[in-house]
Structure 1
Amino acid sequence: MGNRQTCRRPAGTHHEGGRVTTSPQGLDLYALQTYLSSHVREVTGPIEADLMHGGRSNLTYRITDGTHAWVLRRPPLGGLTPSAHDMGREFRIVDALQDTGVPLARTVALCEDPNIIGAPFSLVSHVDGTVLRTREDLDDLATTDVEECAFALVDVLATLHSIPYQEVGLDGFGRPQGYLGRQVRRWRDQWQRVATRELPDIERLQARLETHVPDESDASIVHGDARIDNAILDPAELGTVRALVDWEMATLGDPLADLGLHLVYRDPAFAPVLGGSAASTDERMPSRDALAERYARARGRDLSQLDFYLALGYFKIAVIAEGIHARHAAGLTVGHGFETVGRAVPQLAAAGLRTLTERSTL
């Protein structure tokens, strides 16, 4: 984007405009200031940055100049699954979906030059609102509010899946034909890349998925990580989603894979991935069947093969969790709450195997 800046200063503490600023880990604040001053006209002064906790993959920071605020995303420090950290893809899909009815942050800038801050990054507007990350975040909410926000996210997912991707310029963004088979192979390959241990259930789950691939649904835009803590909610009306975030896994494919993964996040087996207290696993959240029924009514979709999509969701999140665990073991994670992630992997793999032997009740 524009002229590529090359001026660098070691990350750490710097003096900007008479005040002291500190670069958080993974972000060179001085180099970012130089870039933004040339590429984002809204920037009016020295910037500050804070790491936004909650993410387990790409690093996310809140950037402010004291007047405006943005969100910057960059790949993790030790990315072992590089295809999942393509800043350009993430930015492109959010840019294409502006004004489509899907609630989103406003796109601002994309820098694919790793020489600016040490990695490619994207910048979008900061959206104020409520994010429900932990079960404790739900403590003061009425059960009706908990249900409304959960159903609201399912409705957003249904809206996303109804958008003709060709009409928003995303034809060619992915290869929808054969998507499910490629997903099984992709996550098998990712497991081989990130595995820190032998886990026979993962091998058995992958083998069973390969023999149970159903005929695919009509292709749509797939978010790839639609869970409640990736939704920014209206504080005054939790049944309104202000923005769906974290589009790093987005592609074109079978929309029921999106639904299946979303329903897996409802399982308590997922909780250790988010430090043991994931809001999506709270007992007051609508049941998995209730969420699936809400989606089926909104989209008019047949969910008779839902067991496969659930098992695929378990497989995918198990492999992602192992990758996070591997980065943490190597000292390459930023933030806290990573100590519990590894223990989720065998539980998720076992749950996926059970799902393929227990037909959906829907």
Structure 2
Amino acid sequence: MADLNPDSATRIRPGEELDLAALTAYLNDTVPGFGTITACEQFPGGYSNLTYLLKTNSQEYVLRRPPFGATIKGAHDMGREFRVLSLLQSAGYPKIPEPVVFCDDESVLGGPFYVMKRVSGIILRAHTAPKLNLPAEIWRRASESLVDNLVQLHALDIQTTGLIQLGKPEGYVRRQVEGWHRRYVNSQTDDLPDMDALARWLTDHLPAENPPTLLHNDYKYDNVVLNPDDLTDLRAVLDWEMCTVGDPLMDVGTALSYWAESNDGPFEKSFNLTWLPGNLTRQEFADRYAAGSGRDLSGILYYYIFGLFKNSVVMQQIYTRYQKGLTQDHRFAGLLAGVRALARKGIQSIEHQKML
């Protein structure tokens, strides 16, 4: 079995460099004893916010900022993500990076950003995990741990912790369906009948909503930090930018829409590693969550379809930015094919009345 090394940063992509002089000056003014940045690198994963590793002589930090050129209202909200971490810290939830400072002065780096302490561990990414040759039993336990932690997140008392202030749970599902459809229309570049059909189906089949909980809204392997010596030990959950409160099955559906299986296509397998032998299937994920949470998941198909639609819209938005020349990251050139693939999967799942 290959060694599990901590998630590593690398050189910064062209056009995404930070002004280290301005950043150092700001951090020393606002964070007592921060020191001098001795190195700055970029984490290569992800398609949304940009994430950097900052090193000083005594500490490692992570900085997050929106993509250069991003103007999508409601997305990439650094202040809100920092606020979520602060609320979770106050609530005593331990599996988060410690928030350090938020900056909304765009004269520093050209956009808002925040800094948190780095959590040491491993992030399992789709492009590296197959090379690790981990036995099926390890993947089984790791995937079970991932589900169990989602159950724990949804068990947080949103009233006593103050987390209720992160959103308006009443009518959450309807607002989400309408909002993501609107985002798709605003970023559409091609005629995709499957996307239009999914939007109509979601609108016509709105479910009765479940009692609200905290929602992460982007829960998957590459948004958690694991202990490299024990992959069942989940040290931190990352990327809280879309966290809110609402129907917990919306969170489950989104997680399931990322959950590739062995018979899925190459695109689905390219952005998640759950197709590797030993991982739970989508249905096993749903069954384990239902058992742990006590919630009825007989209607999970709706939420899975929503997750596929939402992921398709996110890729469409990123592809549109690439088409407009607002980002030079060539990974984005093929995302339209991903939109088509997920939309088709959604249509086929509706036709077969099960998660495909």
Normalising by structure 1, what TM-score?
0.88
Could you say which residue in structure 1 is the equivalent of 2:4?
Answer: none
CA distance in 1, matches of 2:227, 2:317: 32
- 1:282 correspondence with 2:276: yes
* Counterpart in the other structure of 1:109: 101
Shift of 1:294: 1.2
The change in CA–CA distance for 1:105 and 1:336 in structure 2 (over 3 A counts) is: farther
Whole-angstrom distance in 2 between the partners of 1:273 and 1:64: 34
Q: 2:115 aligns with which of 112, 118, 123?
A: 123
Partner SS, residue 234 of structure 2: strand
Q: Alpha carbons of 1:196 and 1:247: their partners in 2 closer, same or farther (altered >3 Å)?
A: same
2:158 corresponds to 1:170: no
CA gap of 1:295–1:332, structure 2 versus 1, over 3 A, is same
Q: Name the SS for the 1:217 alignment partner.
A: coil
Is 1:214 aligned to 2:207, yes or no? yes
Matched, 1:192 2:185: yes
Query: 2:73 is aligned with what amino acid?
Result: P
Residues 267-278 of structure 1 mapped to structure 2, 5 A cutoff: 267=260, 272=267, 276=270, 278=272
Question: Aligned AA for 2:105?
Answer: D
Name the structure 1 match of 2:3: none
Matches within 5 A, 1:281-320: 281-320=275-314
Deviation string 1:150-188 (CA, Å, 9 cap, x unpaired) is 111111111111111122222331110000001111111
CA distance in structure 2 between the aligned counterparts of 1:318 and 1:137, rounded to whole angstroms:
24
Which range is displaced more, 218-227 or 284-293? 284-293
Does residue 264 in structure 1 map to residue 257 in structure 2? yes
User: Would you say 1:137 and 2:132 are equivalent positions?
Assistant: no
Task: State the 1:27 CA deviation.
Answer: 2.0
2:153 paired with 1:153: no
- 1: CA distance, partners of 2:41 / 2:327: 15
CA distance in 1, matches of 2:194, 2:311: 14
Q: Distance in 1 between matches of 2:114 and 2:183?
A: 24
Alignment gaps of 5+ in structure 2: 1-11
The secondary structure found in structure 2 opposite 1:337 is: helix
Deviation at 1:55, TM superposition (A): 1.4
Q: Does the 8 Å contact 2:221/2:272 carry over to 1?
A: no
Cα offset for 1:135? 5.0
Moved more, 335-344 or 22-31: 22-31
Q: CA deviation at 1:79?
A: 1.7
Partner secondary structure for residue 49 of structure 1: strand
Aligned counterpart, 1:63: 54
For 1:54, the equivalent position in structure 2 comes to 45
- The number of residues matched between the two structures is 340
Give 3-state SS (helix, strand or coil) of 1:355's partner: helix
1:102–1:322 distance in 2 versus 1, CA, 3 Å: farther
TM-score by length of 2: 0.89
1:26–1:77 contact (8 Å) kept in structure 2: no
Counterpart code for 2:281: S
In structure 2, relative to structure 1, the CA distance for the partners of 1:286 and 1:335 (3 Å cut) is same
Residue of structure 2 equivalent to 1:237: 230
Secondary structure of the 2:48 match is coil
1:284 Cα shift? 3.8
TM-aligned CA deviation for residue 335 of structure 1: 5.1
Asked whether 1:86 is paired with 2:80, we answer: no
Change (3 A) 1:25 1:164: same
Give aligned-pair identity as a percent: 35
1:253 aligns with 2:237: no
Gap regions ≥5 residues in structure 1: 1-20
Give the conservation status (yes or no) of the 8 Å contact 2:274–2:280. Answer: no
The separation in 1 between residues aligned to 2:265 and 2:300, in whole angstroms, is 19
Q: 1:116 is aligned with what amino acid?
A: V
Deviation at 1:334, TM superposition (A): 6.0
**What is the distance in 2 between the residues matched to 1:197 and 1:66?**
50
Q: Does 1:28 align with 2:22?
A: no
Instruction: Give me the whole-angstrom Cα distance separating, in 1, the residues matched to 2:13 and 2:128.
Output: 30
Task: Encode CA deviations 1:239-296: one digit per residue, 9 max, x unaligned.
Answer: 111111011111111110110111111136686378x353234354211111111111
